[in-house]
Amino acid sequence: MVGTAPTLSAMQIVGMDERHLKRDGPGTNFVAFIYEGGDATTSWSVDSYLVTDAELADVLEWLQGHLPEKACYSVGVVVDPPRPTETSDVEVTWVIGADVLNMDPRHWTPMERRIAEGMLARRHRTSIP
């Protein structure tokens, strides 16, 4: 049953009619970060990629073939500009993970801590959910 449900945050979930979904172009633009290394004494190495005109399933499939051992990742949707290039300044809404591993853990919010812990769990399993 789809409907509103109480959650831990202000998030709401409601049913919708899929006919209201409009697409602009063949796919969406994503940013993928792959994090390697990082421990108490060293920082993370981050490789970043722009993936254009793709579906999230395509990005996850690509990651599965390119994710190094003992790495973790984050994926975001580029919300601006509409047609990004590798030199564009981009605004991203994170959908898997977030750029929290480059932050000082002492400054994480509780949500950022949960995100980082999930990313680190993926790092240890090296798997795509």
Number of independent structural domains in the chain? 1
Does 47 map to a domain?
Answer: yes
Q: Is 96 exposed, middle or buried (0-12, 13-18, 19+ CB in 10 A)?
A: buried
Each residue's pLDDT tens digit, 63-75: 888 888 778 888 9
Does 17 map to a domain?
Answer: no
| Range of lowest pLDDT (1-10, 65-74, 109-118, 119-128) | 1-10
Each residue's pLDDT tens digit, 88-108: 899 988 888 767 776 778 888
Domain that residue 95 falls in: 27-125
* CA-wise closest residue to 73 among 53, 90, 52, 51: 51
Does 5 map to a domain?
Answer: no
Token pair belonging to 54: 């793709």
Does 95 map to a domain?
Answer: yes
CB 35 within 8 A of CB 101: yes
Does 70 map to a domain?
Answer: yes
Token pair belonging to 125: 């399993």
pTM over 0.85: no
CB 36 within 8 A of CB 120: no
